[in-house]
């Protein structure tokens, strides 16, 4: 006599997603604030602080997802065929992104390459969500909730790329001793008998502070994050926060089914 054990860990995966979203949303807002206040050391501190839980959560995500990929029931008779692909492929991608992020911070490498991986993973996740929603029959008993979860995490992945590029530029300018997003500010002054006014003039981003002084000594340099840069950075934590809300909601909706046993407890 043979026995088959069915282990449904999708509820745990949903909690894991909520934890990831919570940490990333909090870190993303703090990154935005560090940029806004021209605090490169504070920004590095935020990145290092987030790397520790991201490494742990990423490793757990990879272990659970790879285990699910290889052990999830895949019999046409149980009605669960393809669940290992639909649910665990995106989790594998998420684990890769999180572990890569942690390694990038430890090695002080460019974040934009992790952002690129996140961008592709996000696009794939959104496609998985759309496919699962339009499949007939639907992959879950809650297709709309699943679609919203996948779309939110996918959008966060898409906006991770532009946000990482802005952060790389900011830190690179700081390391080079330049003021990122610098603007020259001058005061009214006289030249001969005429009166001239030096208005606020944008300077090439990351221009050297010393070379940015006005000829008559009245110029100065100040820091201002352009609106477009703030928006690009803020969109990441916004969509991550929405993904976290979707994960918590999805967990509450599907938990009763996951607490069942055997295929009857599947979503």
Tokens, residue 235: 């969109």
Looking at the fold, whether 100 and 132 belong to one and the same domain comes out as yes
Phi-psi region at 177: left, alpha or beta (left = phi > 0; alpha = psi -120 to 50): left
Q: What is the pLDDT along the chain (267 residues), one digit of tens a residue?
A: 344 455 567 778 888 999 999 999 999 999 999 999 999 999 999 999 999 999 999 999 999 999 888 877 655 555 556 777 888 999 999 999 999 999 999 999 999 999 999 999 999 999 999 988 887 766 677 788 889 999 999 999 999 999 999 999 999 998 888 878 875 444 444 444 444 444 444 444 444 444 443 334 444 556 788 999 999 999 999 999 999 999 988 877 776 665 654 444 445
Looking at the fold, whether 155 and 74 belong to one and the same domain comes out as yes
Is 230 inside any structural domain? yes
Is 17 inside any structural domain? yes
Number of structural domains in the chain: 2
Is 232 inside any structural domain? yes
Is 1 inside any structural domain? no
Q: Tell me which residue range forms the domain holding 142.
A: 10-178+226-265
Q: State residue 209's pLDDT score.
A: 44
Q: State residue 56's pLDDT score.
A: 96
Is 2 inside any structural domain? no
Looking at the fold, whether 194 and 78 belong to one and the same domain comes out as no
Looking at the fold, whether 208 and 109 belong to one and the same domain comes out as no
Q: What is the pTM of this model?
A: 0.78
Q: State residue 85's pLDDT score.
A: 85
Looking at the fold, whether 78 and 162 belong to one and the same domain comes out as yes
Looking at the fold, whether 171 and 49 belong to one and the same domain comes out as yes
Looking at the fold, whether 120 and 238 belong to one and the same domain comes out as yes
Measured CA to CA, the distance from residue 66 to residue 225 in angstroms comes to: 42
């Amino acid at each position: 006599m043979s026995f088959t054990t069915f282990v449904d860990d999708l509820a745990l995966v949903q909690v894991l997603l909520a934890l990831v979203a919570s940490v990333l949303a909090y870190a993303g807002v703090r990154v935005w604030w560090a940029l806004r206040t021209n605090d490169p050391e504070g920004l590095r501190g935020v990145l290092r602080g987030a790397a520790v839980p991201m490494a742990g959560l990423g490793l757990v995500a990879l272990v659970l997802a790879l285990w699910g990929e290889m052990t999830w029931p895949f019999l046409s008779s149980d009605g669960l065929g393809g669940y290992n692909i639909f649910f665990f492929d995106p989790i594998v991608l998420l684990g890769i992104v999180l572990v890569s992020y942690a390694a990038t911070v430890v090695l002080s490498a460019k974040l934009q390459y992790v952002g690129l991986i996140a961008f592709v993973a996000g696009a794939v996740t959104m496609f998985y969500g759309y496919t699962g929603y339009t499949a007939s029959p639907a992959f879950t008993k809650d297709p709309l909730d699943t679609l919203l979860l996948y779309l939110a995490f996918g959008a966060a992945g898409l906006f991770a790329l532009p946000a990482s590029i802005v952060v790389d530029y900011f830190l690179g300018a700081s390391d080079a001793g330049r003021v990122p997003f610098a603007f020259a500010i001058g005061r009214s002054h006289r030249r001969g008998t005429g009166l001239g006014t030096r208005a606020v003039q944008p300077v090439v981003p990351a221009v050297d502070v010393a070379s940015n002084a006005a000829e008559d000594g009245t110029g100065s340099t100040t820091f201002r994050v352009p609106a477009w840069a703030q928006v690009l950075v803020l969109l990441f934590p916004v969509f991550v926060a929405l993904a976290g809300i979707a994960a918590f909601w999805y967990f509450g909706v599907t938990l009763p089914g996951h607490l069942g046993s055997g295929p009857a407890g599947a979503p």
